[in-house]
Structure 1
Amino acid sequence: MNDDNIRYSREDLNEFDQIIQEKLTSARKELSFIKETLNRSNESGTDTTASSAKVLEDGAETAEKESMNQLASRQLKFIQQLENAQIRIKNGTYGVCIGTGKLIPKDRLRAVPHTQHSIEAKMARRD
């Protein structure tokens, strides 16, 4: 088999790199917003008003902080996956399914640029 059949061209890789860079920029802005929101809720949590409603508010606030922390964690993971995809672009392994060794279709990479699995391999993992 010709090596060209198992690697994307430099032009294709540049397209994917641009998609990834746009997603990284957006993901980093979102993470920054989540962190700012968490910091604001931490700063406003110093009010010591005594009431039964305060206990409910504290519980809701705690749940919201946990939810925001989970969002931040997922966003960090997404950013790391995108950065890893950029590394794969640089080292020439981007777009090759780690399950089948075949090229992942361009449409899938455009939709999920950090993926390392073709749909075929992803479905096989679920069984």
Structure 2
Amino acid sequence: MSTQEVPMNNSPFSSEEINHFEELLKEERKESKHKINEFKERLKELEDKLDNTNSSAAHHQGNIGSSEEEREKYYSLISKEEEKLEEIEEALLRMENGDYGICTSTGKPIKKERLKVKPHAKYSIEAVRAANTT
């Protein structure tokens, strides 16, 4: 997206800053997709191993319990990474709409320092703190 295409109607950031955050978001999106694929591959390997009935030792109660726990871990990791990917896509959409960097709860600007750490943040730290105290 060129600098001229980025609407700046509500965002507290300059075109340069928006471009910087857009690159961060795109890199995070790429990493999240890679992680999801990696977790799915590991999960498939684990499930293939569980389906293997060649060894009775592989089906010992303790092994089955450990494998089930590991399987649940991968499902959880995939779910969390998919949630993050969705938040990244939402942040890119807010960027297109000119609302990037605006807290979706309070309507106030999100501090640049917070977005540097979590460029897909949709809440200001103040909104997060307020939500945690209620």
Q: Scaled by the length of structure 1, what TM-score is found?
A: 0.89
Structure 2: give runs of 5+ residues left out of the alignment.
Answer: 1-7
Q: Is the 8 A contact 2:11 2:99 kept in 1?
A: no
- Output aligned runs, 1:63-78, within 5 Å: 63-78=69-84
1:91-127 superposed Cα distances (whole Å, 9 cap, x missing partner)? 1011011232221111101101111111111111112
- Equivalent-residue separation in structure 1 for 2:29 and 2:109 (angstroms): 23
Q: 1:92 aligns with which of 93, 98, 117?
A: 98
- Output aligned runs, 1:97-116, within 5 Å: 97-116=103-122
Q: Is the 8 A contact 1:7 1:92 kept in 2?
A: no
How many residues are treated as equivalent by the alignment?
A: 125
Match of 1:24 in 2: 29
Q: Say yes or no: does 1:40 pair with 2:41.
A: no
- Equivalent-residue separation in structure 2 for 1:51 and 1:25 (angstroms): 39
Give the secondary structure class of the aligned counterpart of 2:60.
helix
Q: Scaled by the length of structure 2, what TM-score is found?
A: 0.84
1:50-95 superposed Cα distances (whole Å, 9 cap, x missing partner)? 3597221111101100111000000100001001100000110110
Structure 1: give runs of 5+ residues left out of the alignment.
Answer: none
Going from structure 1 to structure 2, the CA distance change for 1:46 and 1:27 (only over 3 Å counts) comes to: same
Q: Is the 8 A contact 2:87 2:120 kept in 1?
A: yes
Going from structure 1 to structure 2, the CA distance change for 1:76 and 1:118 (only over 3 Å counts) comes to: same
- Equivalent-residue separation in structure 1 for 2:98 and 2:33 (angstroms): 25
Instruction: Indicate the percent of aligned positions where both proteins have the same amino acid.
Output: 30
Give the secondary structure class of the aligned counterpart of 2:64.
helix
Going from structure 1 to structure 2, the CA distance change for 1:122 and 1:54 (only over 3 Å counts) comes to: same
